[in-house]
């Protein structure tokens, strides 16, 4: 049950059920509890019943879920797939009508994609280039030829090599089996050689990124690899279930949030920054290195590249300054902020960088504030279970 936490009221007008649409997602919210590192489940196709949505079924051999990737089929720390029903309910009750939605810390893009519809402009932004490429594949308006992409995917899947390359030399036998690492390197090199436009290249790179994530010998991020290399399933690229007809108004950016904010005026601004000192460029360095492909020298046991230009100010001690600047500059009607209440932990790295009362006070400068919360369990390291983990959404109706 989603609760209004702030301001305090006797009545609780918000409840998660029934979910808007034909399928109750109750089990995703409070029943089946998933790890933050779990692959997000593929819902039955067309299960997200969005008004004005026109999902065109893909009629080909890729039309079964085994061969088709959905945007949420990826492990990503802090992804908001399980929070979508709550976000949707707040938007239904507080923000309608709206024409544009900005997901300014988009990560996987699942939140923007959930609100994607023909008549809505989704603005997605990410500091990591690998995420930008994926967002571009899923959400940018450019037309692409599905059949051409499918042919390329077949071609890439058929590549085989016994030769080492940049990727296998650095990541073979640790993050991946040597066979998979060689294949990943060979596919990545081939994508550079093919004559592709940017959209096509982004689609193939995204297909590779999702496939790599499936065979990585990690517990969901790339800070370290698992000691036992038992992730031996062979790599397989699949096609992406892109809702091309819904993307026509969308915009995708690869900028610092606090720079982009000067240039946009969305009706709804959704803010989901990192919560603690763990930099996403550290956790996803390997995927970033694979997508950028400038073949840098790597350092340390975890084989990380230089990430100095990718560090987020939201992971630093004075994160609240950046947050305050972002809110101050925002030109929008509604602001939604997701922020974790990790509480005080002995592991200083997991402590939240911005305190609740700082968030409330900063938002109050802009308009009326309410807070909604959703409980679910979370795995913090892939091993330890934290019960009573809470995700909150701070909502601010911006004063005119």
Q: Smallest distance from the beta carbon of 234 to ligand SAM, in angstroms?
A: 27
* Measured distance CA(259)–CA(264) in Å, rounded: 10
**DSSP for 168-198, written as a single string:** HHHHBTTTB-HHHHHHHHHHHHHHHHS---H
* Measured distance CA(362)–CA(273) in Å, rounded: 15
- Closer residue to ligand SAM, CB minimum distance, 29 or 156: 29
Q: Smallest distance from the beta carbon of 226 to ligand SAM, in angstroms?
A: 23
- Closer residue to ligand SAM, CB minimum distance, 98 or 129: 129
Q: Smallest distance from the beta carbon of 338 to ligand SAM, in angstroms?
A: 7
Q: Smallest distance from the beta carbon of 259 to ligand SAM, in angstroms?
A: 8
Nearest to 83 by CA among 140, 24, 8, 28: 28
- Closer residue to ligand SAM, CB minimum distance, 196 or 212: 212
Enumerate binding residues for ligand SAM (CB under 6 A).
76, 78-80, 105-108, 110-111, 125-128, 131, 256-257, 272-274, 280, 312, 314
Q: Smallest distance from the beta carbon of 135 to ligand SAM, in angstroms?
A: 10
Q: Smallest distance from the beta carbon of 163 to ligand SAM, in angstroms?
A: 33
User: What is the CA angle 350-102-126, rounded to 5?
Assistant: 50
- Closer residue to ligand SAM, CB minimum distance, 183 or 389: 389
- Closer residue to ligand SAM, CB minimum distance, 174 or 283: 283
**DSSP for 250-313, written as a single string:** -EEE-S-HHHHGGG---SEEEE----SS--HHHHTHHHHHHHH------BTTTTB---GGG--G
By the 8 A CB rule, do 274 and 78 touch?
yes
> How many Cα atoms are found within 13 Å in the side-chain-facing hemisphere of 258?
14
| Total residue length of the chain | 400
By the 8 A CB rule, do 69 and 240 touch?
yes
- Closer residue to ligand SAM, CB minimum distance, 111 or 177: 111
By the 8 A CB rule, do 376 and 26 touch?
no
What's the distance, CA 164 to chain centroid? 31
Question: Helices (H) and strands (E) in the chain — how many of each?
Answer: 13, 12
Q: Smallest distance from the beta carbon of 254 to ligand SAM, in angstroms?
A: 9
Give the CB-nearest residue to ligand SAM. 107
Q: Smallest distance from the beta carbon of 221 to ligand SAM, in angstroms?
A: 11
* Measured distance CA(390)–CA(55) in Å, rounded: 33
| Helices 285-292 and 198-215, packing angle to 10 deg | 150
Give yes or no for a cis peptide into 7 (omega within 30° of 0).
yes
- Closer residue to ligand SAM, CB minimum distance, 203 or 315: 315
């Amino acid at each position: 049950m989603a609760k209004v936490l702030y301001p305090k009221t006797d009545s609780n007008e918000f409840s998660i059920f029934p979910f808007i649409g034909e399928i109750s997602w109750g089990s995703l919210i409070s029943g089946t509890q998933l790890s933050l590192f779990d692959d997000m489940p593929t819902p039955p196709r067309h299960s997200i019943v969005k008004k004005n949505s026109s999902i065109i079924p893909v009629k080909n051999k890729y039309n079964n879920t085994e061969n088709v990737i959905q945007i949420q089929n990826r492990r990503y720390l802090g992804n908001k797939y399980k929070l979508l029903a709550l976000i949707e309910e707040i938007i239904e009750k507080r923000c309608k009508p709206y024409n544009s939605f900005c997901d300014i810390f988009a990560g996987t893009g699942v939140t923007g994609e959930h609100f994607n519809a023909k008549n809505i402009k989704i603005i997605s932004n990410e500091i990591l280039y690998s995420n930008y490429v994926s967002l571009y594949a899923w959400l940018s308006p450019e037309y692409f030829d599905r059949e051409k992409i499918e042919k390329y995917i077949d071609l890439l899947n058929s590549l085989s090599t016994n030769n080492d390359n940049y990727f296998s030399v650095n990541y073979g036998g640790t993050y991946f089996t040597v066979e998979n690492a060689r294949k990943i390197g060979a596919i990545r090199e081939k994508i550079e050689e093919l004559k592709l436009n940017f959209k096509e290249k982004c689609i193939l790179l995204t297909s590779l990124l999702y496939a790599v994530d499936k065979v990585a010998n990690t517990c969901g991020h790339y800070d370290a690899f698992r000691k036992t290399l038992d992730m031996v399933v062979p790599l397989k690229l699949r096609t992406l279930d892109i809702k091309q007809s819904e993307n026509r108004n969308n915009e995708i950016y690869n900028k610092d949030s606090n720079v982009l904010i000067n240039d946009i005026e969305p009706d709804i601004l959704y803010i989901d920054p990192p919560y603690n000192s763990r930099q996403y460029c550290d956790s996803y360095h390997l995927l970033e290195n694979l997508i950028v492909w400038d073949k840098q020298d790597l350092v340390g046991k975890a084989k990380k590249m230089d990430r100095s230009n990718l560090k987020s100010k939201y992971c630093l001690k004075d994160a609240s300054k950046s947050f305050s600047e972002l809110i101050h500059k925002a030109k929008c009607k509604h602001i939604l902020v997701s922020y974790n209440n990790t509480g005080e932990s002995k592991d200083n790295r997991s402590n939240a960088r911005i305190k609740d009362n700082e968030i409330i006070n900063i938002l109050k400068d802009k308009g009326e504030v309410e807070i909604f919360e959703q409980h679910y369990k979370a795995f913090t390291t892939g091993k330890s279970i934290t019960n009573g983990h809470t995700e909150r959404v701070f909502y601010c109706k911006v004063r005119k």
